[in-house]
Amino acid sequence: MLHARAGHGARFVLGVEMLLLISCVALLGISLLMVLSTTAPLGEQQHADGLMFAKKHVLHMLVGVLAMLGVQKIPPGQMLRLGPVILCGSFFLLALVLVPSVGIEAGGAQRWIGVGPLRIQPGEFVKLGIVLYIASYVGRQEQRLGTLAGGLAIPFGIVGAVVLLLLLQPDFGTSAVIGLIVFAQLLVAGARLTHLFGAAILGAAAAWTMIQSSAYRLRRIQAFLDPFDDPSNTGYQLIQSLIAVGSGGISGAGLGAGQQKLFYLPAAHTDFIFAVIGEEMGLIGCSVALITFFLIGGAGISISLKLRESSELSTMAVGLTLLLCVPAFLNMMVVTGLLPTKGLVLPLVGYGGSAMVANLIAVGILMRLAKVPVKS
């Protein structure tokens, strides 16, 4: 019986690891092709080097892969202890983003810190810090999660402080992702639904108040409801995205043959790269990307279920899985007009060094959790 259990565990680890690895390689392959395709005209125009962005992207990938391999050597218990440290560090960096002489503004938002030639987006790492912190908190305070004052008040307060800093940038998309992830983590850990839904209602009310008080956000909502009402301004990006996705058909126009990336579709290599996948690789390419994220989600849920006897590790696996999948599905919905436009990069695909490194670290930790032996 012991040998059978060990054999089953070994097969599980190999199967889940291979599924995560193959999914990750597939997305990185799509990413390399699409970033090369979307940034060649931009690089040629801005820097007389069509490969400049692609070369940076490869460097981001290499750093991320090294980080992914590195975190697999860290025991999960030590990773849990590092959670609050990572959260504090990323929280500090989030605060620095708002300092005028330190933070870098682009596209109407101040989300980056300049370190020499590097740009760091702390919001990508704070998501990772939040996931690890909530998991570590669950491990320490599992018996108190059913209470509000002595249990959930602390994580709610910390998440609220992080979201406030993000909204000041502003970064509404990352704030929403963090809220969804924390809700799911605490739900899996055993928190009371009344407390979680109460917090969710308060968060939704605050979000609606912010939307109503901001003419810019109201215009985004109106553009989402009817982009053709203002096709040259607020509805422009969504319209160009829908043109790209719709013109791809089943198999697409072919790699490099898309037209929307030629300065029609804004953020073609970052937030709207999925639209270019649709134009150049068609429904087939979009389906491959979508299915790959479902496979990652399935692998992550399997790991969480395997570790259900350890609430903190199971909660960590759920958080890391959602960290990868929630932004992916939200991004695809934005690109196809199912959600209002917001700044979310497609994980493991879109251009962006901070996002690439943070997401590959998440994959690495998931692969390490798959190796944790099950208690008999």
- Confidence band of 112 (pLDDT split at 50, 70, 90): confident
pLDDT digits (tens, 9 = 90+) for 127-138: 999 999 999 999
* Residues 88-110: b if buried by 16+ CB within 10 A, e if exposed: eebbebbeebeeeeebeeeeebb
Mean pLDDT of the chain: 89
> What is the mean predicted confidence (pLDDT) over 85-112?
85
Alpha-carbon span 202 to 278, nearest angstrom: 37
Residue 9 has what pLDDT? 62
CB 259 within 8 A of CB 225: no
The C-alpha R_g of the chain, in whole angstroms, comes to 21
Residue 1 has what pLDDT? 37
Residues with Cβ within 8 Å of 45's Cβ and at least 6 positions away in sequence, in order, are none
- Confidence band of 226 (pLDDT split at 50, 70, 90): confident
Strand partners, 113: 103, 120
Q: pTM for the whole thing?
A: 0.93
Strand partners, 115: 118
| pLDDT greater than 70 at residue 242 | yes
Residue 50 has what pLDDT? 86
pLDDT digits (tens, 9 = 90+) for 33-89: 999 999 999 888 888 888 999 999 999 999 999 999 999 999 999 999 888 898 999
Distance of CA 194 to the CA centre of its chain: 27
**Amino acid, single-letter form, for residue 172:** F
Alpha-carbon span 311 to 153, nearest angstrom: 19
SS3 109: strand
> What is the mean predicted confidence (pLDDT) over 188-212?
87
Residue 106 has what pLDDT? 77
Tokens for 113, please give them. Answer: 């810190």
- Confidence band of 24 (pLDDT split at 50, 70, 90): very high
Residue 110 has what pLDDT? 82
Phi and psi at 114, nearest 5°, equal: -90, 125
| pLDDT greater than 90 at residue 367 | yes
Phi and psi at 118, nearest 5°, equal: -90, 150
Residue 4 has what pLDDT? 42
- Confidence band of 116 (pLDDT split at 50, 70, 90): confident
| pLDDT greater than 80 at residue 361 | yes
Alpha-carbon span 3 to 14, nearest angstrom: 16
pLDDT digits (tens, 9 = 90+) for 146-189: 888 778 899 999 999 999 999 888 888 899 999 999 999 999 99
| pLDDT greater than 70 at residue 329 | yes
Residue 13 has what pLDDT? 67
pLDDT digits (tens, 9 = 90+) for 278-314: 999 999 999 999 999 999 999 999 999 999 999 999 9
Residue 143 has what pLDDT? 80
